Amino acid sequence: MQNCVESRLARLEATQNPDGGWPYFPGKPSWLEPTAYALLALSGRRGPAFERGWRLLRSWQMPCGAWRPCAAVDQAHWSTSLSLTVHWATGIRDAAFQRGIDWLVTSARAEDRMVARLTHWLCPSIVEFDPGLAGWPWETGAPSWVEPTAHALMALRGAARRAKNRDWNGRIAMSERMLLDRRCRDGGWNYGNRRVLGADLPSYPETTALALMALDGHAAVAWGTALDGVERTWHETRSPLARAWLSSCLLLYRGERPQPAERDDRTGNDILVTAIEGIPWNHILAAS
């Protein structure tokens, strides 16, 4: 198992861009998302690759406190949460980190607007969810969705525990309730719509794993059943990304990843998958 991790870390070092970041696919421009995951994977080494990546990540913070997703895009991005997790996971709690946290806890969501809640109450049958429960959106001011909420929850919970800050507990608790409210009838999560026009929607394995990781042992989840389902799905799905998140979830809660199958060469160039599989989630999140 250790060899698998080592091979992923070596691959990350081999695919780092000259600017210090990581692309989604080798040879392409750097993005914050794969860069943040690569830094979490390499955080135990703190070698030159980590340092170069760290410098790029820091340079992408915007005056508002949020991070941009890549050099070409000049707007605040949900992956700010990932950058904040890299900060607290590596022991950095400086002014830049604090500005990022401030942006995260004050960023607006559609559910904050009375008119959005009112509209939902008037037409509840289109998409069924509790509009009073807000997590985090993909974009500031938009409705909350599962994936950005999961990442923000992990980032904020880790920051709160390290700072011993209880001011954010309310937002953390509401986001947990929002995730639980969006849970599909089959027990997992998709992007965030469990029921549309009276029909149940199915969950996806990758978002199910992420939601479970973000719920941090929440009492409302039957964890034995949920994790058995995660392991079963890991064996069944052929999606490398889904398998990466499912195995990360098992690493977090059960202490080890399932034995990986042979890597499919056709998808082996996805750096996001490589990075997620290289992260010691049990050490990073369990300690948060």
Partner 1 sequence: MEPHPGGLVTRRRFLGAAAVSAVAAGAGCAKRTEAAGPPGKAAVAILRAPSYRVDLVDRLVRGAALCGLDARGKRVLLKPNLVEFDRSSVIHTQAEVVAASVALFEHLGAREIIIGEGSGHRRDGYFLAEEAGYRQAIPDFDSRFVDLNRDEVAHVAPFPGKGGIYLARTALAADLVVSIARMKTHHWVGATLSMKNLFGVVPGAVYGWPKNHLHQAGIPNCVASLYRTFPRSFAIVDGIVGMEGNGPIQGRARSCGVLVMGADLAAVDATCCRIMGIDPEKIEYLRLVSDQGHVAEPWIEQRGETISQVRSPFELIPQFQHLRLV
Q: Which two tokens stand for residue 184?
A: 């599909």
Q: How far is the CB of 236 from partner 1 (least distance, A)?
A: 12
Q: How far is the CB of 103 from partner 1 (least distance, A)?
A: 17
Instruction: Decide if residue 204 touches partner 1 (CB under 8 A).
Output: yes
Instruction: Decide if residue 1 touches partner 1 (CB under 8 A).
Output: no
Contact by Cβ (8 Å): 141, 108: yes
Q: Which two tokens stand for residue 167?
A: 């001011």
SS (H, E, C) 251-262: HHHHCCCCCCCC
The crossing angle, in degrees rounded to 10, of helices 205-215 and 240-254 is 20
From 231, 220, 275, 273, select the one nearest 253 (Cα to Cα).
231
Residues 223-242 that bind partner 1 (CB under 8 A): 238-242
Residues 268-287 that bind partner 1 (CB under 8 A): 270
Q: How far is the CB of 128 from partner 1 (least distance, A)?
A: 14
Q: Which two tokens stand for residue 45?
A: 């080494």
What x-and-dash track marks residues 137-176 binding partner 1 by CB under 8 A? xxx-xxx-x-xx----------------------------
Residue linked to tokens 């750096």: 271
Nearer to partner 1, 170 or 202 (CB): 202
Of the chain, the end-to-end C-alpha distance in Å amounts to 24
DSSP 42-54: HTTT--HHHHHHH
Nearer to partner 1, 239 or 282 (CB): 239
The secondary structure of residue 69, as a DSSP letter, is: S
DSSP 175-194: HHHHHHHT--TTSSB-SS-S
Contact by Cβ (8 Å): 233, 242: yes
Instruction: Decide if residue 25 touches partner 1 (CB under 8 A).
Output: yes
Q: Which of 14, 115, 197, 219 binds partner 1 (CB under 8 A)?
A: 197
Instruction: Decide if residue 135 touches partner 1 (CB under 8 A).
Output: no
Q: Which of 19, 177, 191, 263 binds partner 1 (CB under 8 A)?
A: 191
Instruction: Decide if residue 199 touches partner 1 (CB under 8 A).
Output: yes
What x-and-dash track marks residues 87-106 binding partner 1 by CB under 8 A? --------------------
Given the rule CB under 8 A, which residues bind partner 1?
Answer: 24-25, 28-29, 31, 33, 69-70, 72-73, 75, 77-78, 110, 137-139, 141-143, 145, 147-148, 190-191, 196-197, 199, 201-202, 204, 206, 238-242, 266-267, 270
